[in-house]
Amino acid sequence: MANNITSKFLAGTGVIVTTTNITRVVAIHAYSTIAGTFALSDSTGDKIKFQVPTSGQADIYIGDQGVSFSATVSVSTPNGGGVTLFVG
C-alpha cells in the first residue's frame, strides 16, 4: 500500500505532474460543465480515458497499485473541465 499519496489539481488541459520518475495514479476526481472525454497520458500516449455527462463528475478509484505513468502526466479535459489526481 502506498504511503506517499498526494493530490494534484488542474483546471483545463495541460501538464498536471512534472517528474522524471514513475508516477502511479491511484484515484481520479473529474468534473465538467459540458459532456466530454477526459484523457490522461504520458510520453507513450493515452493511458486512461473516460467520459462525463453535462454538468457531471466522475470519481474513479483504481487501487493501491495504480496505473503507472512514465515521467510527465498530461490531462486533456472537455472545455470547462477540471481534474484532481491522487498519485503515489
Q: What is the DSSP string of 28-85?
A: EEEEESS-EEEEEEETTEEEEEEEE-TTEEEEEE--TT-EEEES-EEEE--TTEEEEE
Q: Identify the pLDDT of residue 64.
A: 86
Domain ranges of the chain: 6-87
> pLDDT tens for residues 33-86?
999 999 999 999 999 999 999 999 999 999 889 999 998 999 999 988 999 999
Whether this model's pTM surpasses 0.85 = yes
Q: CA angle at residue 74 from 26 to 62, to 5 degrees?
A: 15
The number of beta carbons lying within 10 Å of the beta carbon of residue 24 is 18
Range 6-87: architecture per CATH: Sandwich (2.60)
Rounded CA gap, 43 and 60, in Å? 22
